[in-house]
Amino acid sequence: MQEWWRDAVIYQIYPRSYQDDKGDGIGDLRGITRRLPHVADLGADCIWISPIFQSPQKDMGYDVSDYTAIDRIFGTLEDFDALIAAAHDLGLKVIVDQVLSHTSDQHAWFKKSRVSRDNPKADWYVWADPEPDGSPPTNWHSHFGGPAWEFDPQRGQYYLHNFLISQPDLNFHNADVIDAILETCEFWLDRGLDGFRLDTVNYYFHDQKLRSNPPAQAAGRQVMATDLYGMQRNIYNKTRPENLAFLEKLRALTDQYDDIMMVGEVGEVGHRSIEIMGEYTAGTSRLHMAYSFAMLGPDFTAEHFQNCIEGFQRGAPDGHPYWSFSNHDVPRQVTRWAEHAVSDDAMARLCCAMLMSFEGTIGIYQGEELGQTETELVFEELTDPPAIRFWPAVKGRDGCRTPMVWEKDAPNAGFSGGTPWLPVKPPQAANAVDQQGDDGILAFYKDTIAFRKASNALSRGKTKFLTLPEPILAFHRQTKSECLTCVFNLSPKPVELKAKGKGEIVGPNNATLSATSLTLPGNGFAYIKNDGTLKLSS
């Protein structure tokens, strides 16, 4: 049986920003449920909802204080059950963020753990004595700036936090912690959830010897306030070998249910991130699939995309990748890659055409299907902790998290009748759903997703790259019965290629194919149906 997730399109919903139905300016579960037809009409197969669990919201829900309760700003367990039922009625699967590596400092587990060194929860978090001079136990950095250790005077020890000081790391070397985490996952599976998106999946374990990290091989002068993290080879504070055994326990749990899928977020950069994706998806006893930030950065070259895909093919020949260009942690792709674009519209279409041609599972972040751009914010509008701390060197993640826009001329573009938690500005409202039209970006996404689903080559075909110079990315997607050659111009300048062999342009495209040449406008693209012998050259 073909598992549903292998050729799925997964639509990420950031719940604070999707639809506010209670009028307090923060999106909620009932709002998501009301807008599910939009996702179904788009052609997506599944929604991924960012954290909705009880939380003080210091890091917008990624600081969980109760793993089995819905935060009241989003609704109730009954609202969650209704959302699951409505999604399933529309043929949509539902997965939810599981933030397992750390909790909020307001979680009952941590409140108990910090009281003393000998209580039942004392070893549930990562505690360590100060060095003789009072300094932290290791040189590890926090992602959000400063040391990854915070001194707690109540215990007279430091605790580990890879992110905010208010996000202490759980001690996965403790078997009781693992059992408790698995119980919380089982709770949601029993309520009908179809799987998990596992946040920071390579951060669960730390080095028990508490060895300090060596300098990064290519370390240089940092250029941003939070770049200290990247000045180390982070080999002792994450991606420890014990991670794999925990993933196998989690997979054993999900395998007790029908049709469950887990996708892990690999918190790493560069080629190493592709290697970890391979390790974590190898075989049938770990993750079903994984993604990294490899395609979520500034790199926009044919060589980069080819290296990402071929690197995964080599590292995990039996694994399965998940590719996306945007999410709630990075600037929106249309803005991020603007220097390579003819226009925002042209970049949005190129990104969609490229992404839908990649082998594996595809992720879309809300608003991407509208060609949404990054929102420019002033300091007084910020909510993201690292941005507030390090402004103006760090702009933070708020710019990609502003509310979904439904109706251009409605208050707050139809998101809320109250004051939104982040502002809706005119450049974003201009991309509203009701402004898209028959030839807009939304229609293009619908057409391209439908084309992908109707094509065996795009949904199940293997990938073989063509050798062409920058800025052309080209490859065959091929099954025994069908071959599509996918060609993309990653520059704003037109390109003409020599063509040899028979072929026919099909599906969404903006290119011209003759008997001897393929002409691509700036940011042009084409899917060419052929027998696998089509040759292209510069």
Q: Is 98 in contact with 196 (CB distance < 8 Å)?
A: yes
Give one word for 40, left, alpha or beta, with left for phi > 0 and alpha for psi -120 to 50: alpha
Q: In what order do the strands lie in the sheet with 157-160?
A: 127-128, 157-160, 149-152
Q: Is 324 in contact with 355 (CB distance < 8 Å)?
A: yes
Tell me the β-bridge partners of 497. Answer: 518
Catalytic, out of 45, 169, 199, 275:
199
CA torsion through residues 391, 395, 397, 399, sign: positive
Long-range contacts of 511-520 (CB under 8 A, 24+ apart): 511/487, 518/487, 519/494, 519/495, 520/472, 520/487, 520/488, 520/489, 520/494, 520/495, 520/496
Beta strands 504-506; 525-530: pairing state: antiparallel
Q: H or E element: which one contains 94?
A: strand 93-98
Contacts of 272 (CB under 8 A, 6+ apart): none
DSSP one-letter code for 141: B
Q: Is 503 in contact with 534 (CB distance < 8 Å)?
A: yes
Is 359 one of the annotated active-site residues of the chain? no
Tell me the β-bridge partners of 197. Answer: 97, 263
Give the integer Cα–Cα distance in Å for 538 and 536: 7
Helix/strand/coil for 151: strand
DSSP one-letter code for 47: E
Give the integer Cα–Cα distance in Å for 44 and 196: 17
Q: Is 226 in contact with 390 (CB distance < 8 Å)?
A: yes
Tell me the β-bridge partners of 290. Answer: 264, 321
Catalytic, out of 268, 279, 368, 369:
268
Q: CB 504: neighbour CB atoms within 10 A?
A: 10
Is 227 one of the annotated active-site residues of the chain? no
Residues marked active site are found at 199, 268
